A and B are shown apart, each in its own frame.
Chain A
Amino acid sequence: MASPLSFPEEVLEHIFSYLTLPSDLNSASLVCKSWYSADRYSRRKAFIGNCYSLSPQGLVSRFPNLRSVEIKGKPHFADFNLVPEGWGGYFFPWVRTMSVAYPWLEEIRLKRMVVSDEALELIGRSFPNFRVLVLAFCDGFSTDGLAAIAANCRHLRELDLRESEVEDSSGHWISRFPDSFTSLVSLNISCIASEVNFPALERLVSRCPNLRSLHLNRAVPIEHLPNLLRRAPQLVDFGTGTCSSEVHPDIYSNLVRAFAGCRGLRNLCGFWDVIPAYLPAVYSVCFGLTTLNLSYSTIPSPDLANLINQCPNLQRLWVLDYIEDSGLEAVASTCKDLQELRVFPSAPFIPEANVQLTEQGLVHVSLGCKKLQSVLYFCRQFSNAALVTIAQNRPNLTRFRLCIIEPHTPDYLTREPLDMGFGAIVQHCRDLRRLSLSGLLTDRVFEYIGTYAKKLEMLSVAFAGHTDAGLHHILSGCDRLRKLEIRDSPFGDRALLTNAAKLETMRSLWMSSCSVSFGACKLLSRMMPRLNVEVIDENDDPCSRPDNCMVEKLYIYRSLAGPRFDMPGFVWTVNEENSTMRSSSALPS
Chain B
Amino acid sequence: MMEGVVEKGFLDMEDTELRLGLGLPSAAEDPGKRILGNKRPLPSPESSDECESSKGSCSSLDAAQDDHESAPAPKAQIVGWPPIPSHRKNNLQPKKAEGDAAGIYVKVSVDGAPYLRKIDLKVYNGYGDLLTALENMFKLTIGQYSEREGYKGSDYSPTYEDKDGDWMLVGDVPWEMFIASCKRLRIMRGSEAQGLGSSP
A267 and B36 alpha carbons, distance in the complex (Å)? 44
**Distance in angstroms between the alpha carbons of A463 and B77 in the assembled complex:** 14
Q: Nearest chain-A residue to B16 (Cβ)? A: A443
B13 engages A469 (CB within 8 Å): yes
Contact B65 A513 (CB under 8 A): no
Q: Choose one: A81, A452, A473; the contact of B80 (CB below 8 Å).
A: A81
Known: A488-B35, A490-B35. Is A191-B80 also a contact (CB below 8 A)?
A: no
- Kindly list chain A residues whose C-beta atoms are within 8 Å of the C-beta of B32: 548
Contacts of B16 in A (CB 8 A): 442-444, 447, 466-467, 469-470
Q: Looking across the interface, which residue of chain A has its beta carbon closest to that of B65?
A: A408
Cβ contacts A to B, 16 pairs, < 8 Å: A77-B80, A79-B86, A298-B93, A344-B88, A351-B75, A427-B1, A436-B83, A447-B2, A447-B16, A448-B2, A451-B2, A462-B83, A466-B16, A515-B33, A515-B34, A550-B36
CA distance A190 to B173 in the complex (A): 47
Interface 1/0 per residue, B1-39 and A, CB below 8 Å: 110111100111101111111111111011011111110
* A349 close to B5 (CB less than 8 A): no
What band does the interface of chain A fall in when counting residues whose beta carbon is under 8 Å from B?
Answer: 35 or more
Chain B residues within an 8 Å CB radius of A419: 18
A563 at the interface (CB under 8 A from B): no
> In the bound complex, do residue A407 and residue B65 qualify as a contact, i.e. CB atoms below 8 Å apart?
yes
**Do B81 and A80 have beta carbons less than 8 Å apart?**
yes
B166 within 8 A of partner (CB): no
**Residue B200 interfacial (CB < 8 Å):** no
Known: A81-B48, A85-B50, A407-B78. A488 touches B4 (CB 8 A): no
By the criterion CB–CB under 8 Å, are B5 and A451 in contact?
yes
Across-interface contacts of B33 in A (CB, < 8 A): 490, 492, 515
Q: Cβ of B91: which chain A residues have Cβ within 8 Å of it?
A: 272, 296
Which listed residue, A378, A451, A467, touches B15 by the CB 8 Å rule? Answer: A467
A537 within 8 A of B: yes
The answer to whether the Cβ of A417 comes within 8 Å of any Cβ in the partner chain is yes
| 17 further interface pairs, Cβ-Cβ under 8 Å (given A427-B2, A442-B18, A466-B15) | A81-B48, A81-B51, A81-B79, A84-B50, A350-B96, A406-B68, A408-B22, A416-B20, A423-B1, A451-B2, A451-B5, A451-B6, A469-B15, A488-B37, A488-B78, A513-B54, A552-B53
Q: Is B81 a contact of A407 with CB atoms below 8 Å?
A: yes
A537 and B53 contact, Cβ closer than 8 Å, known pairs A81-B48, A444-B18: yes
> Given A354-B93, A442-B18, A447-B4, are A79 and B11 also a contact pair (CB < 8 Å)?
no
State whether B2 touches A348 (Cβ < 8 A).
no
A residues lining the B interface (CB < 8 Å): 77, 79-85, 137, 163, 165, 191, 272, 295-296, 298, 344-352, 354, 378, 403, 405-410, 415-417, 419-420, 423-424, 427, 436, 440, 442-444, 447-448, 450-452, 460, 462-463, 466-470, 472-473, 476, 487-488, 490, 492, 494-495, 498, 512-515, 537-539, 548, 550, 552-553
Q: How far is the CB of A194 from chain B (nearest CB, A)?
A: 14
Choose one: A163, A378, A488, A498; the contact of B82 (CB below 8 Å).
A378
Taking Cβ atoms with an 8 Å cutoff, the residues of B that contact A are: 1-2, 4-7, 10-13, 15-27, 29-30, 32-38, 45, 48-55, 61, 64-65, 68, 72, 75, 77-88, 91-93, 95-96, 101
Q: Which residues of A contact B78 (CB under 8 A)?
A: 407, 488
| A191 and B22 alpha carbons, distance in the complex (Å) | 40
Query: Which residues on the B side are within 8 Å of A347 (C-beta)?
Result: 92-93
B93 with A163: CB separation less than 8 A:
no
Q: Give the distance in Å from the alpha carbon of A403 to the alpha carbon of B61 in the complex.
A: 19
- A residues in contact with B2, CB < 8 Å: 423, 427, 447-448, 451
Residues of B contacting A537 in the complex (Cβ-Cβ under 8 angstroms): 53
The 8 Å CB contact of A538, one of B36, B45, B53, B84, is B53
A553 to B80, CA, bound (A): 14
A513 and B36: CB pair below 8 A? yes
Contact B20 A82 (CB under 8 A): no
Q: In the bound complex, do residue B81 and residue A462 qualify as a contact, i.e. CB atoms below 8 Å apart?
A: yes
User: A513 to chain B: which residues have CB within 8 Å?
Assistant: 35-38, 54
